[in-house]
A and B are shown apart, each in its own frame.
Chain A
Amino acid sequence: MYSSIVRIQNTFGFFTTVAFCIAALIAASDFFSPRAPTVNSLKTTSVQVVRGRPHYYSTKKEEYAIIKFSLDADLSDLFTWNTKQVFVYVTAEWPEINGGNTTNKAVIWDSIITSPSADHLTNLGPASKKKLIKSAKGKSIDKSRGKLSIKNQRPKYQITHPTGKVASKDGVQLKLHYNVQPWVGPLTWNQDKHIGLWKALKNGVSKSFKFPAVKAKDIPRA
């Protein structure tokens, strides 16, 4: 009696200790792989403000900003053996004119970029999933997925404000952000400052522009 129960307990205890130590080492290894993410260009290609309703049954009219943009970025350093996915997102940020220095931020576009090790978990149709898995065949890390080059991208989300007013707001900027999701360990985001081997995201902010008046289409300064 002494032997069997105590031995099972000891074995299980040893197993969990070893598992947690290895997990901790893997999580710590992230801090020793350098990151130098760079944005080569982030700019709007067209900005439009239209009036619409939040959903089909609503009678309320709101203004929606539709921002098309181009992005060229190199985030390949973010893909290491402990990377499960990188969540890349572009926000539009603009100050409140009357409200002092309060700010408004809204995601206009996002993308989940999985590591090859997490491809089987993605929520894609069977055909595109197969294609995705095939694209990194034989590779456990695919740094090329961090190279983003998208042109004249339509926004995934049309943004508004709780007041329903966005037209003619000035000082709008697009910003690129990322969130690295590890297999185990801390979640990390883009930084403003260098921390250890991780460099701040370079050049991740667009030039400031203005939301046009309702329905008037314009091409802002590139």
Chain B
Amino acid sequence: MLSSLGNPRQAAAQILNFGLVLSTAFMMWKGLSIVTDSPSPIVVVLSGSMEPAFQRGDLLFLWNRNWLQDTDVGEVVVYNVKDKEIPIVHRVVRKFGDGPEAKLLTKGDNNGADDTDLYAKGQDYLVRKDIIGSVVGFIPFVGYVTIMLSEHPWLKTVMLGIMGLVVVLQRE
């Protein structure tokens, strides 16, 4: 059953294999990050403020380059507010001026009011550098597993346990 543990060469190969899988995933994530110029090119929707377009758990693909045009009114952007950890996915509804200093106001489609209250104290508008990407692609529901994992931390332990068991038990 646990014969692989008895064979150090095989055990080492398995650890190496596991490391390879992890580093490949990491490289793909960072590679995508470079291509899209976004620190977080794929995000999971955490709130219902853009319903019915985006539900909790939907996966969004971001693009953060302005090759063809400036970030414009109507685009759905993901932005970070100073001193707040959680990125927010909302639509740009006002834009005053052009270029990197343009003042942008956002609003969730499902919210009655715009985002002025969500911004930092004394901040009335976003600028381009607050934005970490515009939504260009959409896959429903796939990201729900990450919400499950963050809301029920014991699932993480279970998953790590299963993964470890599989790695140990797996031959070849």
Contacts and interface: CB of A to CB of B under 8 A. Distances in A.
Interface of A: 1-2, 5, 23, 84-85, 87, 89, 91, 96, 99, 101-107, 110, 112, 114, 118, 121-123, 157, 159, 161-162, 177, 179, 181-187, 189
A187 B76 contact: yes
Nearest to A181: B53
Contacts of A101: 98
B74 interface: yes
Nearest to B124: A162
B94 interface: yes
Given A1-B169, A186-B136, A118 B52 contact: yes
A184 B169 contact: no
A105 B72 contact: yes
Contacts of B76: 179, 187
A102 B98 CA distance: 6
Contacts of B55: 121
B97 A96 contact: yes
A105 B73 contact: yes
Interface residues of B, number: 32
Contacts of A112: 52-53, 109
Interface string B134-172: 011111100000000000000000000000001001110
A5 B74 contact: no
7 tightest CB-CB pairs across the interface, nearest first? A121-B52, A106-B94, A107-B93, A181-B53, A105-B73, A102-B98, A105-B95
A84 B52 contact: yes
Interface string B61-103: 0000000000011111000000000000001011111100001
Given A104-B95, A181-B53, A91 B110 contact: no
A1 B166 contact: no
Interface of B: 1, 51-53, 55, 72-76, 91, 93-98, 103, 109-110, 124-125, 135-140, 166, 169-171
B97 A181 contact: no
Contacts of B166: 5
B38 to A, nearest CB: 16
A159 B94 contact: yes
Contacts of A159: 94
Nearest to A19: B142
B162 to A, nearest CB: 10
B103 to A, nearest CB: 6
18 contacts: A84-B53, A87-B74, A99-B97, A101-B98, A103-B98, A104-B95, A105-B72, A105-B73, A106-B73, A121-B55, A122-B51, A123-B110, A159-B94, A162-B124, A179-B76, A184-B138, A187-B137, A187-B138
Contacts of B140: 183-184
B144 to A, nearest CB: 14
A113 to B, nearest CB: 10
Contacts of B109: 87, 110, 112
Contact of B135 (A107, A177, A187): A187
Most chain-A CB neighbours within 10 Å: which of B52, B103, B139? B52
Contacts of A99: 97
Most chain-B CB neighbours within 10 Å: which of A87, A107, A121, A161? A107
A162 B75 CA distance: 20
B31 to A, nearest CB: 19
A126 to B, nearest CB: 16
A201 to B, nearest CB: 12
